[in-house]
Amino acid sequence: MLNLVAIEPRSFPEYEAAVSDAGGSLSKVSKDVRALIWTDYSQPKALAELLDSNPQIEWVQLPFAGVDAFSAVINRDVRFTSAKGSYREPVAEHALALSLALMRAIPERVRATSWGKSFAVSLFDASVLIYGGGGITEELVNLLAPFRAKITVLRKRPQHMVGVNSVLASTELLSELPKADLVVVTAALTSETSRVFNRQAFEAMKPSAYLVNIARGPLVHTGDLIDALSSGELAGAAVDVTDPEPLPEGHPLWQAKNILITPHTADTREMVVRLFSDRIRENVHAFFGGEALVGQVSAELGY
């Protein structure tokens, strides 16, 4: 049997079942343990200390799609896998829901107490720019297919993507923003993408364009977003992630014009436990059989 240890196993009995189903056994940390499932996003330092004291550990599985909090830990001689791709369906679904809500002025209408003006923007035949090219983007492209959207994807390493009109380098952001009716942020948070959506980016966007962020809060400069919404540089924005997060009560973003905020609910715990259990089962089986692990993290790329 393959020895594994999962932090907080009592909180996630489904993970223990996934390990067992894949032919492994859940154990306490010991010198026999070769693989680790780490579930605490808030303690990367504790993970580093555990790995330093257990050099026999060969593989660490993280339950998060983004591993920005662990950037200082993954740069070592241990294989790290994330949950990237695991939550692609519910997150893409949420991105589509937020996009439609914005373009149909739902944030305004849910607060309305009078009939108001007649306004809506259709997603059919719209120009959509997606910043990021991972699994969430692939799933969102599938969801956008019925709308005949003209889709451009910006990613670090451009390559052909099914259903996409154009795939360009991420560095083309400022030149592509003026063409988009809808901009969706799906990229990983790295030193290159931090606050890439800032005043310069918002000034490049059409006043009629909408922004949706379901990636990480710090990809967007919060103060600049508030200013852009207040000045009319953007028609509206929807964010499932914020900077800071959780967004404090009374924060100016809550009162920004045409803003829709959801509390990081693109993937809920119920969704994550089920989908991450599938990833654990798949990777334990692969590790035990000497096969390639799914979702391996690149220390160079940071995701």
Indicate whether 241 and 165 sit together in one domain.
Answer: yes
Indicate whether 26 and 160 sit together in one domain.
Answer: no
Asked whether residue 6 carries a pLDDT value surpassing 60, the answer given is no
Return the active site residues. 216, 245, 264
pLDDT tens per residue, range 57-68:
999 999 998 899
The answer to which of 25-34, 67-76, 288-297 has the lowest mean pLDDT is 25-34
Asked whether residue 41 carries a pLDDT value surpassing 80, the answer given is yes
Of 294, 206, 217, 278, residue with least CA distance to 14:
278
Across the chain, mean pLDDT equals 93
Q: Does 301 map to a domain?
A: no
Indicate whether 125 and 13 sit together in one domain.
Answer: no
Indicate whether 184 and 272 sit together in one domain.
Answer: no
The predicted model gives 186-208 an average pLDDT of: 97
Q: Band of the pLDDT at 200, cuts 50, 70, 90?
A: very high
244 upstream amide cis, omega within 30 of 0: yes
pTM higher than 0.75, yes or no? Answer: yes
Q: Return phi, psi of residue 166, to 5°.
A: -155, 135
Q: How many CB atoms lie within 10 A of CB 291?
A: 11
Indicate whether 188 and 140 sit together in one domain.
Answer: yes
pLDDT at residue 9, rounded to an integer:
44
Note the Cα 112 to chain centre separation in Å: 31
The predicted model gives 30-41 an average pLDDT of: 88
Q: Does 299 map to a domain?
A: no
The predicted model gives 71-76 an average pLDDT of: 89
Indicate whether 55 and 126 sit together in one domain.
Answer: no
Cβ-based burial of 99 (10 A; exposed 0-12, middle 13-18, buried ≥19): buried
pLDDT tens per residue, range 87-115:
999 999 999 999 999 999 998 999 899 99
Residue 112, helix vs strand vs coil:
coil
Cβ-based burial of 147 (10 A; exposed 0-12, middle 13-18, buried ≥19): middle
Asked whether residue 286 carries a pLDDT value surpassing 70, the answer given is yes
Indicate whether 50 and 104 sit together in one domain.
Answer: no
| Percent of the chain whose pLDDT exceeds 90 | 80
pLDDT at residue 70, rounded to an integer:
93
Name the amino acid, one letter, at 299: A
CA distances, 135 to each of 77, 171, 230, 301 (Å): 26, 20, 33, 16
Indicate whether 50 and 195 sit together in one domain.
Answer: no
